Amino acid sequence: PKTDIVFLKVHKSASSTVMNVLFRFGEMHNLTFAFPIGGGNQLFYPHHFLARFVKGFSPRSPQRFNILCHHMRFLQPEVQKVVSSSAIYFSILRNPVQLMESSFAYYKGTSAFSRAHSLEEFLSQPYHYYNPADSDSHYAKNLMTFDFGFNPDGEVSAKRVQLMLKAIEASFDLLLISEYFDESMVLLKEMLCWDLDSVVSFPLNIRDSSTKSPLSDTIMEKIKDWNRLDWEIYTHFNRTFWEKIDRDIGRERMQQEVKALRERQAELARTCLQGMGSVAPKDIKDSSLRPLQHGNAKILGYNLNQGLDKETERMCRRLVTPELQYSSALYKKQFAQKHP
């Protein structure tokens, strides 16, 4: 199994679920995480990543960390200082239309979105609300482009788009697609030489459908135009994703792998979860399993079955622990005082 991993956690793209997969694997195999100085869940985002943001990093004795997965704005020369040169780099993308709809609800408090009553209103005259100079403007335009380290306000010329795609291809071994999450997990499992249980997950940090709004075709087109760079990234890597499946696995085997993954997930849901699924924030009984609520989004969580044996309870709890709680538990474990 590969243990040196860089995951660029792109916002609002099922990346919290992927992070849970990495947290669990890292914890089981006693791996070190590149945590932000002072804990927290972001590596000084939205600044470009710097090695010195990582707790325990020192240029004099370059300690290598196994897993780098907290929110950052990608900058590869700096990333290379904290991980081994053989590390596997991957990220996840989401259709920019759904991504923007999600961002509008989740980041409602940001300067660009706070004054617009609806996404339609924002898109009818975006520059009335959006100012590229605002420190949080990146949430409102080409968010994936920004997370990958590029300028979200750059011109959309064929040449520039090509350079951007080439740069991403040169840095990343794999780009997952959140709309095909199970297929993505199969590809990830293959690339990292992990077993099935390592990539099984329950969806984390997902919104209650009551806070989602359906989008008209006109709005979808406006979103694509407004996020043209993101759209170029997404369509390109959605294509290469399926090319990779055809080349490395084949559709038939992929179907079998996805079936096995879903069966195992259903089995774990029966074992672990009350009602076998997610519940509204107010219905989560164990406060330590309550996810952070943000913006206008209602973030769902889980209740564990009662009366599980210790080992099973521990496994189930890992699967449903929200990102912030899990991250801080791993941080405490990694930096426990050696001599209390």
Number of domains in the chain: 1
DSSP label at 97? H
**pLDDT at 223 > cutoff 70:** yes
Q: In the structure, what pLDDT confidence band is assigned to residue 30 with cuts at 50, 70 and 90?
A: very high
Mean pLDDT of 17-27: 98
Give, in order, the Cα–Cα distances in Å from 99 to each of 46, 262, 337: 18, 24, 41
Tens of pLDDT, residues 65-96: 999 999 999 999 999 999 999 999 999 999 99
Q: In the structure, what pLDDT confidence band is assigned to residue 337 with cuts at 50, 70 and 90?
A: low
CA 276/CA 280 separation, integer angstroms: 14
Let me know if residue 211 belongs to a domain: yes
Amino acid of residue 246 = D
Let me know if residue 337 belongs to a domain: no
Structure tokens at 225: 């135009």
Mean pLDDT of 35-59: 95
Mean pLDDT of 228-256: 98
Let me know if residue 261 belongs to a domain: no
CA 154 to chain centre: 24
CA 106/CA 94 separation, integer angstroms: 15
Burial of 95 (C-beta count, 10 Å sphere; 0-12/13-18/19+): buried
**pLDDT at 62 > cutoff 70:** yes
Mean pLDDT of 310-333: 96
Mean pLDDT of 30-37: 97
13: nearest Cα among 209, 176, 149, 142: 176
End-to-end CA distance of the chain: 34
Left if phi > 0, otherwise alpha if psi is -120 to 50, otherwise beta: which for 21?
alpha
Output 239 or 277, whichever has higher pLDDT: 239
Let me know if residue 227 belongs to a domain: yes
Let me know if residue 270 belongs to a domain: no
Domain that includes residue 194, residue range: 5-253
Mean pLDDT of 180-205: 97
Mean pLDDT of 151-168: 97
Domain harbouring 154, CATH code = 3.40.50.300
DSSP label at 292? P
Let me know if residue 77 belongs to a domain: yes
**pLDDT at 319 > cutoff 70:** yes
**pLDDT at 324 > cutoff 50:** yes
Let me know if residue 302 belongs to a domain: no
Let me know if residue 321 belongs to a domain: no
SS3 state at 291: coil
Residue-level pLDDT at 294 = 82
